[in-house]
């Protein structure tokens, strides 16, 4: 069974600051995928970034990047130059095969003007 | 490119009734997964359909069932509704296996309220 833990229920930063959201996971799979999803008040779950565990290079998508520490089973998300539109729930997830995705409980990120 | 769509947006049912939720997968995607998201929680995996067969299931009772059609659209059926079934139901589709085959793209969800 897979588990995903997000230890920060809520975070608040000023616009333009950099913020890091934490995530740890546990899995018995040898090859797996990790994801960060964003869920704004509109409820739509939006893919932010994806990491394949066998790739050592950290994934980057514009202002979003991850710090993937495979041995420590850590997968944090860094948001640079934060914007008001980044305000949302952020979910860390692992898996994606026939067993579906396992999600953490989420971090509510608030970007203050 | 059309994304994942779900219907209806909202639904109110009474305990003991049955409900059907619908999902159209993103163009080119052949796998559909369903999730239940209770208020304030992360989504929980219900099941996954591939080639019109259930090929993976989470810890949900048999009264949660589904279908996938030849055009890859899908239905989620819940029988004998209970109050705890009140939640946001999310559908996600995935492309064929390959570089992005494990990535799931979500629809806007159906909010189900059971009274």
pLDDT, residue B52, reads: 93
Per-residue model confidence as pLDDT tens digits over B86-99: 999 999 999 887 65
B102 at interface of A, judged by CB pairs closer than 8 A: yes
Would the pLDDT of B77 be above 90? yes
Structure tokens at B62: 């048999």
Q: What is the mean pLDDT of residues A30-35?
A: 88
The C-alpha atoms of residue A26 and residue A70 are separated, in whole angstroms, by: 10
The C-alpha atoms of residue B40 and residue A55 are separated, in whole angstroms, by: 32
The C-alpha atoms of residue B65 and residue B104 are separated, in whole angstroms, by: 20
The C-alpha atoms of residue B3 and residue B7 are separated, in whole angstroms, by: 13
Would the pLDDT of B6 be above 70? yes
The C-alpha atoms of residue A80 and residue B22 are separated, in whole angstroms, by: 37
Q: What is the mean pLDDT of residues B21-27?
A: 95
Helix (H, G, I), strand (E, B) or coil at A95: strand
Would the pLDDT of B100 be above 70? no
Nearest chain A residue to B50 by CA distance is A98
Would the pLDDT of A42 be above 60? yes
Distance in angstroms between the alpha carbons of the first and the last residue of chain B: 37
Identify all chain A residues contacting B105, using CB atoms and an 8 Å cutoff. Answer: 47
Per-residue model confidence as pLDDT tens digits over A44-98: 999 999 999 888 889 999 999 999 999 999 999 999 999 999 999 999 999 978 8
Please choose, from the candidates A48, A55, A104, the residue with its C-alpha nearest in 3D space to the C-alpha of residue A79. Answer: A48
A90 at interface of B, judged by CB pairs closer than 8 A: no
Q: Which of A5, A6, A33, A45 should we substitute to test contact with B (largest number of B Cβ atoms within 10 Å)?
A: A45
Confidence class of residue B2 from pLDDT cuts 50, 70 and 90?
A: confident
Share of chain A above pLDDT 70, in %: 100
DSSP, res A41? T
Q: Do the chains contact at A47 and B100, CB–CB below 8 Å?
A: no
B14 Cβ neighbours under 8 A, 6+ residues apart: B81, B114, B115
Mean pLDDT of chain B: 94
Strand A107-112 to A10-14 pairing: parallel
Longest dimension (CA), chain A: 43
Q: What is the mean pLDDT of residues B60-64?
A: 97
Q: Are B72 and B85 in contact (CB under 8 A)?
A: no
Identify all chain A residues contacting B107, using CB atoms and an 8 Å cutoff. Answer: 44
Identify all chain A residues contacting B104, using CB atoms and an 8 Å cutoff. Answer: 47, 96, 101
Would the pLDDT of A1 be above 80? no
Helix (H, G, I), strand (E, B) or coil at B83: helix
Confidence class of residue A31 from pLDDT cuts 50, 70 and 90?
A: confident
Helix (H, G, I), strand (E, B) or coil at A9: coil
pLDDT, residue B75, reads: 98
């Amino acid at each position: 069974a897979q588990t995903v833990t997000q230890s920060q229920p809520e975070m608040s930063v000023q616009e333009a600051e950099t913020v890091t959201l934490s995530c740890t996971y546990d899995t018995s799979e040898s090859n797996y995928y990790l994801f960060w999803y964003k869920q704004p008040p509109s409820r739509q779950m939006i893919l932010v970034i994806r990491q394949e565990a066998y790739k050592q290079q950290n994934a980057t998508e514009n202002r979003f990047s991850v710090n993937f520490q495979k041995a420590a089973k850590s997968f944090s998300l860094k948001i640079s130059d934060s914007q008001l539109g980044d305000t949302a729930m952020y979910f860390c997830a692992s898996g994606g095969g026939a067993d579906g995705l396992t999600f953490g409980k989420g971090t509510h990120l608030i970007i203050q003007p | 490119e059309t994304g994942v769509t779900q219907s209806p947006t909202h639904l109110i049912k009474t305990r003991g009734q049955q409900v059907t939720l619908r999902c159209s997968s993103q163009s080119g995607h052949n796998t559909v997964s369903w999730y239940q998201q209770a208020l304030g929680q992360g989504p929980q995996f219900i099941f996954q359909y591939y080639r019109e067969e259930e090929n993976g299931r989470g810890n949900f009772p048999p009264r949660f069932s589904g279908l996938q059609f030849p055009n890859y659209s899908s239905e989620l059926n819940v029988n004998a509704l209970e109050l705890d079934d009140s939640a946001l139901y999310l559908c996600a589709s995935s492309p064929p296996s390959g570089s992005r085959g494990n990535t799931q793209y979500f629809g806007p969800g159906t909010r189900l309220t059971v009274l």
